Amino acid sequence: MLHHMELMCRRSHRPVRVSAAQFDVFEQMHYVCFHYEFEHDAFDVDEECSAGGCPSATIATGRGIVIGTARALAIESASDAPWANPTVHEYLEAFARWLEDSDGYYINQGRVPPGSGWEVVNDGLRAATTYE
Ligand SMILES: [Zn+2]
Ligand SMILES: [Zn+2]
């Protein structure tokens, strides 16, 4: 009789720990392995696919999008855009509060929280201009 049974991923043949509670939901795989096996489809592994929560988003387009948003916000700020949080300290406080609540933000919109931290930061940079 087994006293300790380690869950093994069918795809990578490595132990499943973090997503062990969803082991059967993910067809006895890691979440990431499930994603690449069934959801990532015709996309290159290093390319972001169209499924919510794609792990490749973090190495694909995220950085460039954040750079673009930061530059656009700098221009808006320099031209006195009517932000609810116009000073640096108000803006950064709102940014921190928004990040704390970001899971709720996506759930309220019926969206899966993004697989890429870049995407969360990008949404937060924009939201912090007006977040109460
Ligand atoms: Zn795996
Ligand atoms: Zn994907």
Residues 69-84 have pLDDT tens digits of 999 999 999 999 999 9
104: left (phi over 0), alpha (psi -120 to 50) or beta: alpha
Chain centroid offset of residue 24 CA: 23
| C-alpha 122 – ligand 1 centre gap (Å) | 29
User: Has residue 61 got a pLDDT over 80?
Assistant: no
pLDDT at 36: 95
* Ion ligand 2 — residues with CB < 5 Å: 40, 49, 54
Is residue 89 in some structural domain? yes
The backbone region for 106, taken as left when phi is positive above 0, alpha when psi lies in -120 to 50, beta otherwise, is: alpha
Taken in order 58, 60, 65, 68, the sign of the CA dihedral is positive
Domain that holds residue 111: 58-127
Residue 33 lies in a domain: no
Does residue 7 sit within a domain? no
pLDDT recorded at residue 4: 57
Identify any residues that bridge with 8 across adjacent strands, giving them in sequence order. 15
pLDDT for the residue numbered 83: 96
Inter-residue contact 101 to 93 (CB < 8 Å): no
Average pLDDT over residues 46-65: 82
Six token digits for residue 96: 């921190």
**What pLDDT is recorded for position 43?**
93
pLDDT tens-digit profile of 2-46? 445 789 999 999 999 998 999 999 999 999 999 999 999 889 998
Tell me, in angstroms, the distance from the centre of ligand 1 to residue 10's CA. Answer: 7
Q: Does residue 50 surpass a pLDDT of 90?
A: no
CB contact at 8 A, 58 and 115: yes
> How confident is the model over 86-119, as pLDDT tens digits?
999 999 999 999 999 998 998 898 887 877 788 8
Q: Is residue 79 part of a domain?
A: yes
Q: Under a CB-based contact definition with an 8 Å cutoff, are residues 128 and 94 in contact? A: yes
Is residue 2 situated within a structural domain?
no
Residue 132 lies in a domain: no
Q: Are 32 and 51 in contact (CB under 8 A)?
A: no
Contacts of 120 (CB under 8 A, 6+ apart): 99, 102, 113, 114
Does residue 91 form part of some domain? yes
pLDDT of residue 53: 79
- How many domains are there within the chain? 1
Ligand whose nearest atom lies closest to the CA of 18: 1
Is 36 within the bounds of a domain?
no
